[in-house]
Structure 1
Amino acid sequence: MDYALTAGTPRWNKSGSVFEGIEIWAERRQIVKETKDDIKERALQAVQMQLKHGIQHVRTHVDVSDPTLKGLEALLEVKAEMKPWMDIQLVALPQEGMYTNPEGEELLEKAIDMGADVVGGIPHYELTREDGIKSIKKSLELAKKYDKLIDIHCDEIDDEQARYLETLAAETIRMGMQDRVTASHTAAMGSYNNAYTYKLFQILKKANIHFIALPKANLHLQGRFDSYPVRRGLTRVKELLNENINVCFGLDSIMDPWYPLGDGNLMDVVDTGLHACHMTDYDHIVTALDLITTNGAKTMAMTDDYGVKEGNSANLIVIDSTSEYEAIRTQAPVVYSIRNGEIIVQMKPAKITMNISLLS
């Protein structure tokens, strides 16, 4: 949310690639002298967009490559102020690399000490494979030291040789961090051969790693260096689910250097993801809401007070549909968002008058 609503400043991402997005963000920090209040104002606009769509739980990455850490300070304030209406988890992300940036490791630990909820990492952006592996190990060490969750931007590249995921899984097992680690993106998995993927899945199940796929952003960002056929850029969502590995869908960005669109509507994300992942069979359609509800709750470690049952907080949404199938087919809107038993957002569905005579 510290990046939200910044697309086009100082320039648009012409290649559409992840790497140009990172370059633009670094340029922006040098040119646009934003204050903490400026970042906070944009983040609050992004929060309002998400609230309109019934979102009450958000995990957002915050760039901790800036020595001032003003982005983190801004989002810590947003998190505290929005607590009555939204739960926000902040991931400390060394966007420019933990070791590519000489201050990266120090800034990451400082961000955790300031109150970040989750430890991040971006191994595929480090200068070498060795630095990438080193960064994964350090992220896990810090998470264990401070008793935090982990969420790694992992293998967000169309390179079949990008295999930091296996290192993440192996280190998770060695350090006893099962069920506390999330791998976001893992786009390279879409380029792995099936024999290697079979072996990888056995390790992933032992590590109990959670996955976040970002259908709209991954389709937009990946495959940019391909001629035809162009890769979809998504991880193997259907195959992971078939192996009972937890996967959820998210919206990576709201109008920033990495993704120029987005308004926080997760129903739209589900629709895109089902098409892109060849999951438009009936069984996947009627369980698709899990990808943005219960599966996400597992990833965010929210399972103690999640679900509609006696004794839980009365936090829920009501959507305008008669069934799960129809909800997905029509991208049904949220008509009520309820927080602690109180309606915080209400939407009246549009009324349509058809001034035509239908054939009998």
Structure 2
Amino acid sequence: MIAALFCGYLAVGLPLPVIPLFVHDKLGFSTFVVGLVIGIQFLATVLTRGYAGRLTDQHGGKRSALQGAAVSALAGLLYFVAAMPGLSPTVSLAIIIVGRLAAGLGESQFVTGCVSWSIASVGPERAGLSMSWTGIAMFAALAIGAPVGMLLYQSYGLEAAMIACVVAPLLAAAIALRETSYATPAGPRLPFYKVIGQIWREGLGLMLQGVGLSGLTAFASLYFAARHWDNAGLVMTAFGVGFIFVRVVLATLPDRMSGYRVALWSLVIEVIGQAMIWLAPNDVVALAGALVTGLGCALIFPALGVEALKRVLPANRGSAMGAFVAFLDIAYGISGPVAGVIAGQFGYAAVYLFGAGCALAGAALVVTARGPQS
């Protein structure tokens, strides 16, 4: 299941650096249109998390994952069609937008299905371990998919990169087909908004954590350039080293102790990492801050995810996971523009003060969180 999730999530990473270049340089549209094209997948993902959760609860994670893989492959096919010669820029753009909407729907179903399916395969008592490894698969797919997509685009054109976006989810489906499907637990199923009402504290804590990572991905290179520092390309490498190290070494921690306690200390570490970047006198300290941020961010998703699952009945776990991950989608969608305004008004360093403040607010929220409601 982890291998399937990795392959399927490559379809998210592969087009990330490619589509902006194609829309701006080849089709000739503005940076505003580029932002719209990239952001519309986020919108589609958030709006369909509820559907993905219901599908998972009613038919199981395997069905949701396979259906999501098929829709993701369709998105890659639409990208491929958009790159065909003879189409006007407007038609190509319209096809890409439809492809991005399809990619959002596919990602929503695929990720919700795989995460829930993985948890069902090992049992809720190992949910934290399961979510740690699914997170590693997704992060690795982004880290590998983006440079591979760029290499294919620069060497062979958009068509080659988009063929990879079709092949990757189909390969994921082929792997997933061989795995055992787990029956959905019986019991009453709540409307999606009621599930959100039960897990909003954990979701909000996850959302506040995501601000720090969003600031790194969006503004680190500009921050380094403004300070005339080298090694901006190592920022996400440093973050990834810390992130994966903790996920591998301490993956079982949320299952062995209170998820809230793990999340609290993780958020405190993230605050320290963001503050290091904000106050960094040189690139070495900034890179160390990125490493510490990765150490802090690593276990927040599984730690709060374990507590979110405790708040709902077994029959609603798919919806709970869909709602929980949607908070992270919202963080990535909102924090980028907000951080952009902050950078314009106060400079790039202030982005990381903002990230530290959000992580600190998340820690305060975790302190006030309590166990499952009666």
The structure in which a higher percent of residues are strand is 1
User: TM-score normalized by structure 1?
Assistant: 0.24
The structure in which a higher percent of residues are helix is 2
